[in-house]
C-alpha cells in the first residue's frame, strides 16, 4: 500500500510541474510537407518505370527543410502500386506524409501482319496452319497472338490478327488467305443402258470440269460423259441440268433418262453430285434396274440367308419386290411374291450372286463369304479366369467323339459339338488348365468332371463343385449332352450356380418373409440378383432333406416369382420347418425357415385390485432429431472431425433418408482424406464408403479391399491374437464380391468361430459378441455358424440388464439391436423389467436429439448417436452396405500358356486363346480316323475325327448337373492365399475398440474402477490427467 501511494504521489508532482512550465516551452507544431500527391506513371519496360517527383517541407517560419522520401524520386518503380513515405524534421518535431506511385501498362502492343498466304484443298474448305503475325510490347516480351477465322472456304478471306499483352491491351491487323481448289481425278464405273442397247459399260477416270452453272472446276457427275466420250444434250436451269439425250438417244413423253447412284435412284441433279472413287453411275431409259440384297454377306455355314430382289417402278418412283427373279450363282431358285428366296451355304467357299428378270436390267453382284460356326469357352475359379477360347464348331453331321474316363481304357461317345467334347479338345491344346479327374457314371449315362487344375491359381486342383452356363443360363443336362450352336458363350466354373437367402429365419403363420435369389455371373465372378425366377418353399424330412413325390419332384408348399432385385415375398400358413430354394435349381441348395404359431399378446398391468391396469408402451429414439443432431455437428468440409467419427457418421447417415449431409460426407470421403494404416482403419473406411455406394476398389485413391486382403496371413486377418479385425473384415469383403466358399473367407470364419468362448461370447464382451453375430449372419449355410450364433444369442440374453440395456451404455445397446436384427428377431422379444433395448436407447436421447448426456464431450455424443441411428432403424451393417463386384482379372494376368506344350501335337481345333500367342488360328481338318491322348497324366481320351468342310474333331469332358439331390462330395481345401511376411502382420493396435473399450474414456472422466478392468483387457495401463488419457487412448488404439 505504501508503494502504491509513493507512485501516485510522484505522478501528481510531475503533472503540477509540467502545468507550471512557461508558454515558451509548449510543444511546437511539426514542419509542413507539400507535393506528396499520388502519381500514375506509364510502364516503360517489364521492370516498371523510373518516376520522379518533387516533395518539399518548411517549418512554421517557412524555412525550407530537407525531406527524405523512400523510395526516392527517380527510382525504378515496379509495375504495381508502391507507397512512398516522406519524412521532414525541424529539430523539434517530425512530420511524415505518404503517397502512392502507380505504374500501369495501358499501351497496346504493336502487331505486324504476315504476308498474304495461299493454300489448296481438294474439298470445299480447309483449315491450314498459317504463318503467324508478330508482335512486340514495351512490357510484355511475348504478347499472345490469335487469328480469326481459322477455317477457310475456296477463295480469298480476310484474316484478323489480334495481339494481346499481359495487361489485356489489344492491337489488331489484317492479311489475306487464298484457298485454291485442287481437284484430283476420280475412278468410277459408268453404265448407260437403253431399252435394247448398252451404250457404255466400264470404268472411267473423271477429271474436274466446269458447267454452265458453275465456273469452278469440280469432279461432278456431269463430267463423266466427256470422260467416257459420250455426247449428251441437256437443258440448264438455275437448279441444275435436265438430260434430254445421251449418245443420240432422246427421251419422250413416256420414257425419259434416269440416273442411279450405287444401286439406288439418285436424290440430286447429276451436275450437283461430287463423284467419289468407286461410285457406280447408271443411266437408263426404257429398262429399269434390279437391286439385290442379302440378310447376311457372311453367314454361318448351314445357316439360312434370305436374298431379296427389288425392281424400280417408274410409276411409284421407288423399288418394289419382283416375283420370279432368278438368282444367279447358286442352284436354281427364284423369288417369291415378296421378292425373297432363301439360300444355304454348304461350305466356307465364297460365292457371288446376282438377279435377273424379264423387262429389267440385271442387278449388280454381291459376294457371299460364309464362315464356320464358332463358340467361346472360358474356365473360372473364383477370381481366376482362364480363356476365353474361341473354337470352331465341328460340322453338325460330324460323328461322335470317343472319350475315356480318367485311369480307364473304355471309351464313351459324346456329341462332337457338346460342351464336354470341346472342353477336352481345348485341354489337349493348352497347358493353362488340366482336367485331372473325369469320371463316367453308367447309371446316368453321363460324364462328371470332378477336378480341374489351374496352375496359375494353385498347384492343387479344385474338385467336386464344377458346373457350367451357356449364354448366362444353367442347362439342366450334363456337359456331354449339351450341343453348342454358333455364337454360344460357355463358362465352366467352380461353385454353386445359385444362392438363396431369406430376411428371416423364423416367422409365425401368416407372416410374410422375403427370399432373395441370386445367380452366378461367371463373366464377372459374382452373384447377381436373379429376376423373374421362381422361388418356393418345399417340405423337408426329419433330417432336413427335401421331400420328393413319386415322380421325383420336390413337394412345393408355396411359390413366388422374384422382382428385378431378385426378391420375392412368401407366406406360409402351416407350422413346421421348410426349405426355401429356387425352382430352376431343383431346390438345391435350400435354406430353412421355421414357421410357428403366433404367441399371445401379453399386457403388463400396473395398478391395484379390481383388474384395472395399463399396457406397457415401448419407445424408439426420434430418428429425425438424431440426424439433425449429427447435421449440427458436421464440419464445413463434410467430415465429423477425426476419421473414426466421420466413418461411423457416414454409416449412420447412409442408413437413414437421403439428405444434403449425406451428399457432403460423400464428397468428403471421395476426396480420399488420410486415415491410419491399421487394417481396422481400412475396414472401417471401406464400410463407410460402401454405405454411401462408393466403390471401395476404385471410388477413391486407395483400393481398401486390397489393403484388407493383403493382411490375410493364410489363417486370419491382421493380428492373430485379436478377433475384432477378422469380424469387421467380413463386412467389406463379403459385400465386395467375395463369396462364402472363397478359401480365404472360409479360413476367416473358422478363425472367428475358434475364438468363441465357452460362455458363447467373444472376448467376454457384449459388443464384440453382437458384432460377431452380424458377421456370421453372412454365412447362413455353415452348421458351425448356426451353433455359434445360438450360443452368442444366449450370452447376450444373460447379460441384459433390468433397464433393457447391456451394461455398456448406448454403445452396447446399439450393437446388440443390430445383432437382434441379424437374428431376424424383434426387439420386443428382448424385454427386462418391461424395457427392451430400444427403450433403453430412448432414455438416453436428449432434447437436442443426441445420444448420451449433454455433459459428455461432443465427439462421444456424435459417436454414440451414429451408432444408435441404424440400430433404432433395425438395420444391420450388411443391409446398409452396397454390394460391389470384384474387379475383372484379365486372362493374361491369370493364365500363362506354354507354347512348347503344344509343339509336335496335331492341331485338332481352331483355338483363339487370349492368354497365348501361339494358338492356331486356322482349323485343321483331319483325314481318316485319328486317336489322340489327353495331356492329363492319368487320362486317356480317344478322339475320332473324319474329314469335314467345317470341322469334326473334338475331345475329353465335363460335368453332369445333379438337380435332384444334395451332393455328398466335399470340396477339397486349398492352401493359404495372399500370404504376407511376418513383418507385415499388424500390431494389436489394429484392433477396433469395442464399446467396452470406448467407455474407458467416459469411465476415466468419472474416476470409476472400470478403467483398470478395461485397460487390462487391452494390455495397457494409462495414467495422467483425464484429457491426456483420452488423447493418448484414442491415438494408440485407432478406435472403431
Average the pLDDT over each of 71-80, 213-222, 592-601, 986-995 and give the range with the smallest value. Answer: 986-995
- The span from the CA of 494 to the CA of 463, in Å, is 8
In a domain, 415, yes or no: no
In a domain, 493, yes or no: no
In a domain, 943, yes or no: no
In a domain, 376, yes or no: no
Q: State whether 309 and 211 are in the same domain.
A: no
Closest CA to 773 of 838, 740, 817: 817
Check residue 763 and give left, alpha or beta (phi > 0: left; psi -120 to 50: alpha).
left
pLDDT at 500 over 60: yes
Q: What share of the chain is helix, strand, coil (3-state, %, to 5)?
A: 20, 30, 50
Q: How confident is the model over 601-609, as a mean pLDDT?
A: 42
Q: How confident is the model over 219-230, as a mean pLDDT?
A: 94
Contact (Cβ atoms closer than 8 angstroms) between residue 508 and residue 596? yes
- The span from the CA of 38 to the CA of 523, in Å, is 77
Task: Identify whether 71 is preceded by a cis peptide bond (ω within 30 of 0).
Answer: yes
Q: Which one of 348, 368, 388 terminates a domain?
A: 368
Q: State whether 823 and 718 are in the same domain.
A: yes
Helices assigned H by DSSP within 352-453: 419-429
pLDDT at 18 over 80: no
* Res. 61 pLDDT band, cuts 50 70 90: confident
Please give, one letter per residue, the 3-state secondary structure of 857-908.
CHHHHHHHHHHHHHHHCCCCHHHHCCCCCCCCCCHHHHCCCCHHHHCCCCCC
Contact (Cβ atoms closer than 8 angstroms) between residue 179 and residue 192? no
pLDDT at 68 over 50: yes
- In degrees to the nearest 10, what's the CA dihedral of 224, 226, 229, 233? 100
Task: Identify whether 333 is preceded by a cis peptide bond (ω within 30 of 0).
Answer: no
- The span from the CA of 499 to the CA of 582, in Å, is 8
Report the pLDDT value the prediction gives residue 216, as an integer from 0 to 100: 80
In a domain, 847, yes or no: yes
pLDDT at 768 over 50: yes
Q: Which one of 229, 257, 284 terminates a domain?
A: 284
Of the two residues 897 and 580, the one the predictor is more confident about is 580
- Which of the listed ranges 601-610, 934-943, 1009-1018 does the model predict with the highest average pLDDT? 601-610
995-1006 and 809-822 helices, crossing angle to 10°: 160
- CA quadruple 260, 263, 264, 270: dihedral sign: negative
Intra-chain end-to-end CA distance of the chain, in Å: 61
Torsion angles phi and psi, residue 924, rounded to 5: -105, 125
Tell me the three cell numbers of residue 676. Answer: 491410419
- The span from the CA of 24 to the CA of 845, in Å, is 79
* 3 state SS of 651: helix
Check residue 509 and give left, alpha or beta (phi > 0: left; psi -120 to 50: alpha).
beta
Average the pLDDT over each of 539-543, 555-559, 582-586, 756-760 and give the range with the smallest value. Answer: 539-543
pLDDT at 965 over 90: no
Give the predicted TM-score (pTM) of the model.
0.41
In a domain, 952, yes or no: no
Average the pLDDT over each of 126-130, 846-850, 966-970 and give the range with the smallest value. Answer: 966-970
| Burial tier of 921 (Cβ tally within 10 Å: 0-12, 13-18, 19+) | exposed
* Res. 239 pLDDT band, cuts 50 70 90: confident
Element (H, E) at 767: helix 766-776
Sequence-distant (≥ 6) Cβ neighbours of residue 315 within 8 angstroms? none
The length of the chain is 1040
Report the pLDDT value the prediction gives residue 208, as an integer from 0 to 100: 86
Report the pLDDT value the prediction gives residue 615, as an integer from 0 to 100: 60
Q: State whether 236 and 299 are in the same domain.
A: no
Q: State whether 856 and 783 are in the same domain.
A: yes
Tell me the three cell numbers of residue 622. Answer: 426420434
Average the pLDDT over each of 58-67, 560-569, 946-955 and give the range with the smallest value. Answer: 946-955
Q: How many domains does the chain have?
A: 7
Tell me the three cell numbers of residue 298. Answer: 457372311
Of the two residues 446 and 29, the one the predictor is more confident about is 446
Of the two residues 242 and 253, the one the predictor is more confident about is 242
* Res. 3 pLDDT band, cuts 50 70 90: very low
Q: State whether 217 and 233 are in the same domain.
A: yes
Sequence-distant (≥ 6) Cβ neighbours of residue 173 within 8 angstroms? 111, 112, 113, 133, 160, 161
Q: Which one of 855, 880, 905 terminates a domain?
A: 880
Report the pLDDT value the prediction gives residue 27, as an integer from 0 to 100: 46
Report the pLDDT value the prediction gives residue 589, as an integer from 0 to 100: 87
Residue 751's beta-bridge partner residues? Answer: none
Average the pLDDT over each of 294-298, 307-311, 594-598, 605-609 and give the range with the smallest value. Answer: 605-609
- The span from the CA of 1001 to the CA of 1011, in Å, is 8
Report the pLDDT value the prediction gives residue 141, as an integer from 0 to 100: 93
Q: State whether 316 and 227 are in the same domain.
A: no
Dump pLDDT digits (tens) for 824-845.
988 878 998 888 999 999 999 9
Rg for the chain, CA atoms, rounded: 45
Dump pLDDT digits (tens) for 586-602.
998 899 998 887 754 44
The 8-class DSSP code of residue 399 comes to: P
* 3 state SS of 7: helix
Of the two residues 782 and 995, the one the predictor is more confident about is 782
Sheet holding 326-328: strands in order across? 326-328, 351-356, 366-368
Q: State whether 246 and 311 are in the same domain.
A: no
Report the pLDDT value the prediction gives residue 599, as an integer from 0 to 100: 52
pLDDT at 943 over 50: no
Q: How confident is the model over 486-515, as a mean pLDDT?
A: 92
CATH number of the domain within which 671 lies: 1.50.10.20
pLDDT at 935 over 70: no
pLDDT at 944 over 50: no
Report the pLDDT value the prediction gives residue 888, as an integer from 0 to 100: 67
Q: State whether 165 and 205 are in the same domain.
A: no
Share of the chain above pLDDT 70, in %: 80
Report the pLDDT value the prediction gives residue 522, as an integer from 0 to 100: 94
Of the two residues 894 and 329, the one the predictor is more confident about is 329
Sheet holding 434-441: strands in order across? 434-441, 446-453, 462-463
Q: State whether 156 and 298 are in the same domain.
A: no
Dump pLDDT digits (tens) for 452-472.
999 999 999 999 899 999 999
Closest CA to 675 of 684, 667, 687, 666: 684
pLDDT at 507 over 90: no
Q: State whether 723 and 860 are in the same domain.
A: yes
- The span from the CA of 814 to the CA of 652, in Å, is 12
Task: Find the domain containing 258 and state its range.
Answer: 186-284
pLDDT at 1036 over 80: no
Contact (Cβ atoms closer than 8 angstroms) between residue 864 and residue 853? no
pLDDT at 1031 over 80: no
Q: How confident is the model over 980-1007, as a mean pLDDT?
A: 31
pLDDT at 1022 over 50: no
Q: State whether 133 and 203 are in the same domain.
A: no
Q: State whether 671 and 796 are in the same domain.
A: yes
Mean pLDDT (the chain) is: 81
pLDDT at 114 over 60: yes
* Res. 253 pLDDT band, cuts 50 70 90: confident
Q: How confident is the model over 969-974, as a mean pLDDT?
A: 26
Q: How confident is the model over 513-534, as a mean pLDDT?
A: 95
The 8-class DSSP code of residue 583 comes to: G
* Residue 905 CB-half CA count within 13 A: 23
Report the pLDDT value the prediction gives residue 617, as an integer from 0 to 100: 80
- The span from the CA of 745 to the CA of 738, in Å, is 8
In a domain, 827, yes or no: yes
DSSP letters of 193-219?
E-SS-EEEEEEEEEPPEEETTEEEEE-
In a domain, 987, yes or no: no
The 8-class DSSP code of residue 115 comes to: P
* Res. 28 pLDDT band, cuts 50 70 90: low
Report the pLDDT value the prediction gives residue 505, as an integer from 0 to 100: 85
Closest CA to 1016 of 1001, 1030, 1000, 1040: 1000
CATH number of the domain within which 170 lies: 2.60.40.10
* Res. 120 pLDDT band, cuts 50 70 90: confident
Check residue 807 and give left, alpha or beta (phi > 0: left; psi -120 to 50: alpha).
left
CATH number of the domain within which 539 lies: 2.60.40
Task: Count the Cβ atoms, other than its own, within 10 Å of residue 435.
Answer: 30
DSSP letters of 150-207?
-SEESEEEEEEEEEE-TT--EEEEEEEEEEEE----EEEEEEEE-SS-EEEEEEEEEP
Report the pLDDT value the prediction gives residue 909, as an integer from 0 to 100: 32
Tell me the three cell numbers of residue 357. Answer: 428378270
CATH number of the domain within which 202 lies: 2.170.130.30
Closest CA to 581 of 628, 517, 670: 517
Amino acid at each position: 500500500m505504501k508503494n502504491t501511494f509513493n507512485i501516485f504521489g510522484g505522478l501528481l508532482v510531475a503533472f503540477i510541474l509540467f502545468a507550471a512550465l512557461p508558454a515558451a516551452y509548449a510543444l511546437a507544431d511539426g514542419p509542413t510537407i507539400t507535393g506528396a500527391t499520388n502519381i500514375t506513371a506509364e510502364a516503360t519496360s517489364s521492370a516498371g518505370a523510373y518516376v520522379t517527383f518533387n516533395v518539399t517541407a518548411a517549418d512554421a517560419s517557412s524555412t525550407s527543410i530537407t525531406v527524405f522520401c523512400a523510395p526516392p524520386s527517380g527510382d525504378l518503380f515496379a509495375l504495381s502500386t508502391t507507397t512512398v513515405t516522406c519524412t521532414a524534421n525541424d529539430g523539434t518535431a517530425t512530420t511524415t506524409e505518404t503517397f502512392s506511385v502507380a505504374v500501369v501498362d495501358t499501351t497496346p502492343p504493336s502487331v505486324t501482319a504476315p504476308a498474304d498466304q495461299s493454300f489448296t484443298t481438294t474439298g470445299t474448305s480447309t483449315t491450314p496452319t498459317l504463318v503467324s503475325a508478330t508482335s512486340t510490347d514495351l512490357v510484355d516480351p511475348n504478347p499472345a497472338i490469335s487469328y480469326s477465322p481459322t477455317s477457310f472456304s475456296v477463295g480469298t478471306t480476310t484474316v484478323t490478327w489480334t495481339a494481346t499483352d499481359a495487361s489485356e491491351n489489344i492491337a489488331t491487323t489484317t492479311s489475306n488467305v487464298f484457298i485454291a481448289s485442287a481437284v484430283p481425278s476420280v475412278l468410277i464405273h459408268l453404265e448407260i443402258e437403253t431399252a435394247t442397247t448398252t451404250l457404255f459399260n466400264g470404268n472411267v477416270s473423271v477429271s474436274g470440269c466446269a458447267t454452265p452453272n458453275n465456273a469452278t472446276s469440280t469432279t461432278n457427275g456431269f463430267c463423266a460423259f466427256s470422260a467416257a466420250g459420250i455426247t449428251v444434250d441437256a437443258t440448264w436451269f438455275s437448279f441444275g441440268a435436265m438430260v434430254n439425250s445421251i449418245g443420240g438417244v432422246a427421251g419422250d413423253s413416256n420414257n425419259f433418262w434416269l440416273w442411279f447412284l450405287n444401286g439406288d435412284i439418285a436424290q440430286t441433279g447429276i451436275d450437283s453430285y461430287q463423284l467419289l472413287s468407286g461410285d457406280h453411275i447408271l443411266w437408263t431409259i426404257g429398262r429399269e434396274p434390279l437391286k439385290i440384297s442379302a440378310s447376311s454377306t457372311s453367314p454361318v455355314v448351314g445357316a439360312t440367308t434370305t436374298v431379296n430382289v427389288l425392281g424400280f417402278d417408274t410409276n411409284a418412283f421407288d423399288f418394289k419386290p419382283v416375283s420370279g427373279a432368278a438368282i444367279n450363282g447358286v442352284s436354281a431358285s427364284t423369288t417369291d411374291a415378296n421378292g425373297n428366296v432363301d439360300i444355304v451355304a454348304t461350305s466356307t467357299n465364297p460365292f457371288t450372286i446376282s438377279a435377273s428378270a424379264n423387262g429389267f436390267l440385271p442387278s449388280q453382284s454381291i459376294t457371299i463369304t460364309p464362315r464356320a460356326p464358332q463358340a467361346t469357352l472360358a474356365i473360372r475359379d473364383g477370381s481366376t479366369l482362364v480363356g476365353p477360347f474361341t473354337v470352331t464348331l465341328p460340322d453338325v453331321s460330324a460323328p461322335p467323339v470317343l472319350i475315356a474316363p480318367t485311369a480307364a481304357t473304355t471309351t464313351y461317345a459324346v456329341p462332337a459339338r457338346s460342351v464336354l467334347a470341346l472342353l477336352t479338345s481345348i485341354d489337349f491344346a493348352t497347358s493353362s488348365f488340366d482336367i485331372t479327374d473325369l469320371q463316367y457314371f453308367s447309371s446316368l449315362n453321363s460324364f462328371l468332371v470332378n477336378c480341374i487344375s489351374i496352375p496359375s491359381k494353385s498347384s492343387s486342383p479344385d474338385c467336386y463343385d464344377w458346373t457350367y452356363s451357356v449364354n448366362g443360363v444353367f442347362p439342366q443336362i450334363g456337359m456331354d449332352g449339351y450341343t453348342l450352336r454358333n455364337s454360344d458363350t460357355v463358362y465352366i466354373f467352380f461353385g454353386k450356380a445359385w444362392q438363396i437367402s431369406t430376411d428371416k429365419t423364423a416367422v409365425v403363420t401368416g407372416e410374410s418373409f422375403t427370399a432373395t435369389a441370386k445367380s452366378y455371373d461367371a463373366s464377372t465372378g459374382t452373384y447377381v440378383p436373379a429376376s423373374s425366377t421362381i422361388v418356393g418353399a418345399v417340405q423337408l424330412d426329419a433330417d432336413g432333406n427335401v421331400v420328393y413325390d413319386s415322380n421325383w419332384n420336390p413337394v412345393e408348399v408355396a411359390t413366388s416369382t422374384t422382382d428385378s432385385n431378385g426378391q420375392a415375398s412368401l407366406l406360409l400358413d402351416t407350422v413346421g420347418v421348410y426349405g426355401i430354394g429356387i425352382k430352376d435349381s431343383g431346390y438345391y441348395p435350400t435354406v430353412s425357415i421355421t414357421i410357428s404359431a403366433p404367441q399371445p399378446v401379453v399386457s403388463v398391468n400396473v395398478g391395484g385390485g379390481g383388474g384395472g391396469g395399463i399396457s406397457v408402451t415401448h419407445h424408439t429414439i426420434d430418428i429425425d432429431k438424431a440426424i439433425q443432431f449429427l447435421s449440427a455437428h458436421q464440419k464445413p468440409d463434410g467430415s465429423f472431425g477425426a476419421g473414426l467419427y466421420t466413418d461411423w457418421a457416414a454409416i449412420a447417415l447412409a442408413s437413414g433418408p437421403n439428405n444434403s449431409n449425406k451428399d457432403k460426407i460423400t464428397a468428403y470421403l471421395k476426396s480420399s482424406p488420410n486415415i491410419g494404416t491399421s487394417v481396422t482403419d481400412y475396414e472401417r473406411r471401406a464400410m463407410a464408403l460402401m454405405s454411401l455406394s462408393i466403390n471401395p476398389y476404385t471410388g477413391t485413391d486407395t483400393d481398401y479391399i486390397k489393403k484388407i486382403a493383403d493382411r490375410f496371413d493364410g489363417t486370419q486377418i491382421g493380428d492373430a491374437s485379436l478377433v475384432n479385425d477378422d469380424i469387421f473384415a467380413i463386412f467389406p469383403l463379403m459385400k465386395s464380391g467375395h463369396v462364402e466358399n472363397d478359401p480365404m473367407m472360409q479360413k476367416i470364419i473358422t478363425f472367428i468361430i475358434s475364438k468363441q468362448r465357452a460362455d458363447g461370447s467373444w472376448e467376454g464382451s457384449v459388443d464384440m459378441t453382437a458384432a460377431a453375430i452380424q458377421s456370421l449372419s453372412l454365412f447362413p449355410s455353415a452348421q458351425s455358424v448356426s451353433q455359434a450364433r445360438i450360443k452368442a444369442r444366449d450370452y447376450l440374453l444373460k447379460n441384459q440388464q433390468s433397464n433393457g440395456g447391456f451394461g455398456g451404455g448406448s454403445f452396447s445397446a446399439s450393437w446388440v439391436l443390430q445383432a437382434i436384427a441379424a437374428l431376424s428377431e424383434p426387439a420386443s422379444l428382448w424385454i427386462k423389467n418391461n424395457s427392451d433395448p430400444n427403450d433403453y436407447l430412448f432414455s438416453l436421447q436428449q432434447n437436442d436429439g443426441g445420444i448420451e448426456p449433454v455433459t459428455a464431450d461432443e465427439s462421444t455424443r456424435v459417436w454414440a448417436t451414429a451408432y444408435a441411428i441404424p440400430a433404432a432403424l433395425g438395420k444391420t451393417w450388411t443391409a446398409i452396405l452396397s454390394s460391389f463386384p470384384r474387379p475383372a482379372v484379365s486372362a493374361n494376368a491369370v493364365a500363362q500358356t506354354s507354347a512348347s506344350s503344344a509343339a509336335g501335337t496335331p492341331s485338332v481345333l481352331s483355338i483363339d486363346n487370349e492368354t497365348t500367342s501361339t494358338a492356331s488360328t486356322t482349323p485343321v481338318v483331319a483325314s481318316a480316323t485319328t486317336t489322340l491322348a489327353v495331356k492329363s497324366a492319368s487320362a486317356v481320351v480317344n478322339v475320332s475325327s473324319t474329314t469335314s468342310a467345317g470341322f469334326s474333331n473334338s475331345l475329353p469332358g465335363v460335368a453332369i448337373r445333379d438337380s435332384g439331390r444334395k451332393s455328398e462330395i466335399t470340396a477339397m481345401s486349398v492352401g493359404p492365399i495372399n500370404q504376407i511376411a511376418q513383418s507385415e502382420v499388424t500390431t494389436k493396435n489394429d484392433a477396433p475398440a469395442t464399446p467396452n473399450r470406448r467407455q474407458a474414456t467416459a469411465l476415466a472422466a468419472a474416476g470409476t474402477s472400470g478403467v483398470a478392468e478395461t485397460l487390462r483387457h487391452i494390455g495397457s495401463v494409462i495414467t495422467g490427467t483425464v484429457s491426456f488419457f483420452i488423447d493418448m487412448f484414442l491415438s494408440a488404439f485407432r478406435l472403431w
